[in-house]
Each structure stands twice: as C-alpha cells, then as structure tokens.
Amino acid sequence: MAIYGIGTDIVQVSRIAAVLERTGGRFAEKVLGPDELRVFAARRRRSEARGIAFLATRFSAKEAFSKAIGLGMRWPMTWRALQTLNEASGQPYVLASGELAAWLAERRITARVTVSDERDYAVSFVVAEVPDDGAPAAVAARN
C-alpha cells in the first residue's frame, strides 16, 4: 500500500459538550451516523462524560479523515457518510456509505484510524492508503 494522505485532529471535549448542550442534542444527530448514534446513546445513558468523549472522538476522526483524503468537509465527505466504529477487539475502523463510499472505491482508497481521549481533549489520526501498483500514489489515486 502507498500513502494517499494523512490527517490529524484534536478537539477540546468541553467545546463538544457545550455545542451538544446548546443544540439540545441535535449536534450528535447531525454529526454521527446511525451506528455511531446507537453507541453514543448507550454510552451516554451509562455516563454523560463517556457519551461526550465518544462524540468528541468521532467528530475528531471525521475531521482527520477529511484531511487525509484531501477534501475537507465538502461533498462527498459529509458528517454522516463516514462512521468510526470498533471491532470486537476495540480497534477502531472507518465505514463509509453512499456517495463517499463510491468516491473512495473509485480511487481505491482505504483508511486506518486511531482515536484517543483524555478528560480535556480527543485526538484522531488517519492514514489513507491506495494500492501500490508501481505508479506514484498521487497519480494512481487522483486520476
């Protein structure tokens, strides 16, 4: 595999909590995909802090992913089109849907993600990759 792009993001957890409170929960519905929303709701029921931390890491992962693929937050990269879920082992992975999934498949882009949070901050790092078929990554992926 060849690296297509990398992205990182850090977010202050209190900022996410403030936006969530100000929007009456609508922020989570705008940012999270359906599977992420279920996990968020379950974690938030157990602990408000755990729910907010989950939302912060997912927000951060989407920002990092958008940087890694070079689009920023514009079509086909939308908040709900990308979900960061976890394997049974706990390892996070990204799952794209709709037009974003098609855009990624057309370019043969896959991605690896890691997320972490502490009391004050959530951080994410994404490596976007393309098959290494002898062509420079930028040429192979962007044509």
- 3-class SS of residue 12: strand
The confidence score (pLDDT) of residue 63 equals 97
The confidence score (pLDDT) of residue 141 equals 41
**Is 17 within 8 Å of 52 (Cβ atoms)?**
yes
Closest Cα to residue 50, out of 60, 40, 58? 40
- 2-142: CATH architecture: Alpha-Beta Complex (3.90)
Q: List average pLDDT for each run of 10 residues in the chain, which is 143 residues long.
A: 96 98 95 98 97 98 97 92 97 97 96 97 98 60 38
Q: Which residues are annotated as a binding site?
A: 9, 63
Closest Cα to residue 78, out of 68, 63, 93? 63
The confidence score (pLDDT) of residue 133 equals 80
In one-letter notation, the amino acid at residue 97 is: S
Distance from C-alpha of 97 to C-alpha of 53, rounded to nearest angstrom: 24
Q: Which residues are annotated as a binding site for Mg(2+)?
A: 9, 63
Q: Which DSSP string do the residues of 93-135 spell out, in sequence order?
A: EEEE-HHHHHHHHHHT-EEEEEEEE-SSEEEEEEEEEE--SSS
